[in-house]
Amino acid sequence: MSTTGTGFDIRRIGGRIGAEIHGVDLSAELDPAIVAEINSALLEHKALVFRDQGLDDAGQLRFASLFGELTAAHPTVPSVDGRPEILPVDGGEGIRANHWHTDVTFVRTPPKASTLRSIVVPPYGGNTLIANSAAAYRDLPDALRDLADRLWAVHTNDYDYAAPKTEKAAEHRRRFVSRKYRTAHPVVRVHPETGERGLFIGGFAQSIIGLSPSESRDLLRIFQAYVTRPENIVRVVWSPGDLVLFDNRITQHYAPDDYGDLPRLLHRVTVAGDAPVGVDGTPSRVVEGDEAAHYTPSAA
C-alpha cells in the first residue's frame, strides 16, 4: 500500500496490473491535484478500482470527464435513454463481452480510457478480467518483439465473434455491424503519455497486413497468448456501486460468461483518445468506413 501526496491510499491488487483506490469520494468535487494523482496511478497500474462509490449516471459522467472529453456511447450501438455518452452493458439481455478486446479499436481514434460502473451484479461470476499489454510486450522473446514492432493489423467490428443466444442479442449484433469499420493500427502501440510499448491487438484485430488469413490468425494467436498470461491479468470481482477506470491504450479486458441467466448490468463511459502511433511514429489510418466523428470528438 502507498499513500499519495493528497492523502488517499493505493493498494495493489495484482502483481503486474491493478490497484484499489481508497479514501477518495468520487461523488465530491475533486481537487485537480487529486485528479492528477489518480491519473498517475492509472498510468502506473493500468486499472483502478474504486469500491462502493454509489454513483449515479451523472456522477459517472462527471468523474470520467475529469480525464478528457467524452465520446458518445458507441459508434453503432444505442446509448442509455437520455444519456448519449453512456453504453448499457446488459448481460441479462444476452449481450456479453466474453472475448478479449480493447474498446472500439475498429475506429481510428479508440478511447483513451474507459469507466465501468456496476449497477446489478450476480451473486457469483460476472467478474471482469483486465490484462496489461505492456507487460505482455516485455515478455516477448527478442525475435518476436522485433517482428511485432514492424507489423500492422486491421481491426474491424464486422466479424462473427459469438453466436447470439437470444433475439435481443441477435438484434444487438445487427446494430453492432450496421456501420462497418476497418482500421489499420500498429501491432505495437507507443503510449502517448509514458512512452511504453504495448501489444495493441485483441478481438477486433482480424488480420495482419501483408500476410494471408491463416498466417494472420497464427501470429495473432501467438501474440495474444502473451497478453492473456495469468500473471498479466487482474480479476475484478464486482459489488454494486463499484467503479473501475482502466487505460484503454495499454490494456485488454474480458467478461466471462459464467453467471447463467442471472442479471448483470454495468454502465460504460469512455474518454476520447488519439490515433495510435507505432514504433516508427506512423499513426493509424482508416481502411474502410469514416473517421467516426459522430462517435468521438477526437480528430488527432
Q: Which residues are catalytic?
A: 101, 103, 253, 268
For 67, 71, 150, 168, 198, the CA distances from 157, given in Å and listed in that order, are: 26, 17, 24, 18, 21
> How are beta strands 19-22 and 47-50 bridged, if at all?
parallel
Residue that has been written with the C-alpha cell 456496476 in this structure: 118
Strand-pair partners of 130: 234, 253
DSSP letter string over 164-179?
A: -SSHHHHHHHHHHTSS
Distance CA 21, CA 70 (A): 22
Residues 286, 288, 292, 295, CA torsion sign? negative
Q: Cα 242 from chain centroid?
A: 17
Distance CA 196, CA 247 (A): 12
- How far, in Å, CA of 131 to CA of 241, rounded? 22
Distance from C-alpha of 234 to C-alpha of 259, rounded to nearest angstrom: 19
For 173, list phi and psi in degrees, rounded to 5: -60, -45
CB-based contact 183:286 (threshold 8 Å): yes
Residue showing cell 441477435: 170
